[in-house]
Amino acid sequence: MVGGGEAAHRKVGGLLEAGAAVTVVAPLITDEIRALPVRIFERDYQRGEVASYRLAFTCTTDTEVNAQVHRDADAAGVWTIQI
């Protein structure tokens, strides 16, 4: 999950219920996400890092970050979903 706000929190909860191992990457992360059993990287998304995941969700208000994640995912053959 690239994004750490309320919308990301709702999606992360559903992913955890489905049994997913979730990583959250965002410079700002809500306390609600921090309370969940997820791996957290409290920083900006780093170009290309999405290649190490099977599926990526973008949940930011920054259209350039969302676009970069999508471009990186396409290049690496990783599915992306924008929330």
Domain that holds residue 60: 6-82
Contact between residue 29 and residue 6 where contact means Cβ atoms under 8 Å apart: no
Instruction: Answer yes or no: is pLDDT of 83 > 90.
Output: no
pLDDT band at 15 (very low <50, low <70, confident <90, very high): very high
pLDDT at 30: 97
CATH of the domain at 20: 3.40.50.720
In a domain, 52, yes or no: yes
Count structural domains, the chain. Answer: 1
Over residues 35-80, the pLDDT tens digits come to 999 999 999 999 999 999 999 999 999 999 999 999 999 999 999 9
CA distance 49 to 33: 21
In a domain, 19, yes or no: yes
Output the pTM of the full model: 0.93
